[in-house]
Amino acid sequence: MKVCIDDKYEKKLILPYNLQWFADGEGGEKTEPATQKKLDDARKEGKVAKSKDLTEGLALVVLFLTLKIFMGYIGERMVGIFDWTIGRMGEFTMVNQSGLSVVAISSLINNAVLEMFLIVWPFFLFGFAITFLVTVYQVGWKVSAKTMEPKLSKFNPINGFKRIFSKDSLFELLKSIVKVGIIFFFFYSKLQEEANNLFILYEITLQQALSLVGEIILDVGLEISIIFVVVGLADFFYQKWKFAEEMKMTKQEVKDEYKNTEGDPQIKGRIRQKMREASQRRMMQDVPKADVVITNPTHFAVALKYDAEVSRAPIVVAKGEDYLAQKIKETAKENKVPVVENKPLARMLYHNVDIGMEIPPELYQAVAEVLAMVYQS
């Protein structure tokens, strides 16, 4: 198609374009919220809305807060291990001069590392537990191995370039720049604030110096972690919105899914019709066994059967309205089943008693009178 300006002299071509450029994709625009089935299928494949930044931020807050609380205990244990290691070095040096291999020194260092690990491992385990709980809180408990399955598409260089230069990658890059900026700002601010204390490090003991430096690091880490939690919360809500947008469906997709899960409405309608017809045929087969058919006489017909050995009260074996009522009456007459006209009773039975059920006690008297009249005739 071409866009033209029509003046009094001529039609001048301005811009050639194709309307197909602006056409929606197959099935139309994705405007419908995702169905529960699509969300469940995505969840099975490991596709959920979660924020790694929120998880990492909360884990860091808990880790730094725990270290700050137990910093005295950890510092004393670390200094004790350091003093013990340095004190044993002299003994190992003397023994080594008499022919002992360097393996002894390695054993000493390994023991020191093991002692340090035994001190810090509970804190890392606690941090892992917090990370796990935050992740479960975000996405719920669902183990999916599909995310670990190898996919050839991941090795496609074209797809790799698309991922590198995608909006998500640019957003992650922006977040990384913001986080680096936050770390630099707080670290620099803390250094300026603690400048006077840092200049006296050479005047204090090793234990005091380690305590001072450790306190500064923990304070900065805790402040940065709290900011990361705020950033993570914002990222979490963004990820929820982004996931909802990605999961949206077209109207045609919703219809197709409904057909696949619930069945084609037309087919289901035909199935229900067949079931009604089969039910009516079974019901009509019970009409000849009835003791009486009570009618309106034109709109309703209810067939009753009473067997004292089977039930305490008469049972409705068939009922119908309009055309079906006429068929019940015709079948009753063909099989010499008495047909009694009783408008109020027929209406009460039709609207209040289902097929195969006993009549309610409040209708005992009225039905008994009809049956007595039938049995006497």
Quote the pLDDT of residue 249: 84
Same domain, 84 and 229: yes
The mean per-residue pLDDT over the stretch 84-94 comes to 65
What's the pLDDT at 19?
Answer: 46
Flag whether 273 is in a domain. no
Hey, is 15 helix, strand or coil?
A: strand
**Position 270 in a domain:** no
Strand order in the sheet with 339-341: 315-321, 300-305, 292-295, 339-341
Instruction: Return the pLDDT at 52.
Output: 81
Which three-class secondary structure state does DSSP give residue 353? Answer: coil
> Which of 199-203, 252-256, 298-302 comes out lowest in average pLDDT?
199-203
- pLDDT, residue 2, reads 44
Q: Which of 182-186, 266-270, 344-348 has the highest mean pLDDT?
A: 344-348
More confident residue, 44 or 15: 44
Confidence of residue 150 (pLDDT cuts 50, 70, 90): low
Question: Does residue 277 fall inside a structural domain?
Answer: no
Same domain, 211 and 360: no
User: What pLDDT digit, counting tens, does each position of 306-334 carry?
Assistant: 888 888 888 888 888 888 888 888 888 88
Overall average pLDDT of the 202-220 stretch: 75
pLDDT at 180: 83
- Inform me whether the pLDDT recorded for 286 exceeds 70: yes
* Distance separating the N- and C-terminal Cα atoms of the chain: 89
343 lies in the same domain as 234: no
CATH number of the domain encompassing residue 353? 3.40.1690.10
Residue 13 lies in a domain: no
- pLDDT class of 13 with cuts at 50, 70, 90: very low
Tell me the pTM: 0.46
Point out the domain boundary residue: 256, 275, 305: 256
172 shares its domain with 80:
yes
Are 75 and 219 in the same domain?
yes
More confident residue, 279 or 188: 188
Identify the domain boundary among 218, 237, 256. 256
Is residue 254 predicted with pLDDT exceeding 50?
A: yes
- 298, 337: one domain: yes
- Report how far Cα 255 is from the mean position of its chain's Cα atoms: 22
Same domain, 50 and 180: yes
* pLDDT of residue 147 exceeding 60: no
CB neighbour list of residue 6: distance below 8 Å, 6 or more residues apart: none
The answer to which of 90-94, 201-205, 273-277 has the lowest mean pLDDT is 90-94
Q: Is residue 261 part of a domain?
A: no
Predicted pLDDT of residue 5: 42
Rounded to 5 degrees, φ, ψ at 16 are: -85, 135
Q: In whole angstroms, what is the distance from residue 284 CA to residue 89 CA?
A: 104
Unique residue bearing structure tokens 């009516």: 280
**Statement to judge: residues 250 and 369 lie in one domain:** no
Q: Report percent pLDDT > 70 for the chain.
A: 73
- DSSP-assigned states of every residue in 310-349: T-SS-EEEEEEETHHHHHHHHHHHHTT--EEE-HHHHHHH
Instruction: Label residue 10 by pLDDT band (50, 70, 90).
Output: very low
Confidence of residue 299 (pLDDT cuts 50, 70, 90): confident
**Domain that includes residue 312, residue range:** 286-376
Q: Do residues 247 and 290 share a domain? A: no
- Structure-model confidence comparison of residues 88 and 26, the more confident one: 88
Token pair listed for 22: 């602006």
Average pLDDT of every residue of the chain: 75
Domain boundary, last residue among 216, 238, 256: 256
Residue 9 has pLDDT above 50, yes or no: no
Q: Are residues 290 and 338 in the same domain?
A: yes
Is there a domain that residue 11 lies in?
no
SS3 content of the chain, % helix, strand, coil (to 5): 70, 10, 20
pLDDT at 90: 62
The answer to whether residue 8 is domain-embedded is no
How many domains does one find in the chain?
2
* 294, 344: one domain: yes
Provide the 3-class DSSP secondary structure of residue 94. Answer: helix
**Mean of pLDDT values over 69-75:** 73
- Give 28-38 pLDDT, tens digit per residue: 677 788 877 88
pLDDT for 151: 56
Residue 100 vs residue 237, higher pLDDT: 237
- Per the model's pLDDT, the better-predicted residue between 10 and 173 turns out to be 173
Q: Do 302 and 203 have their domain in common?
A: no
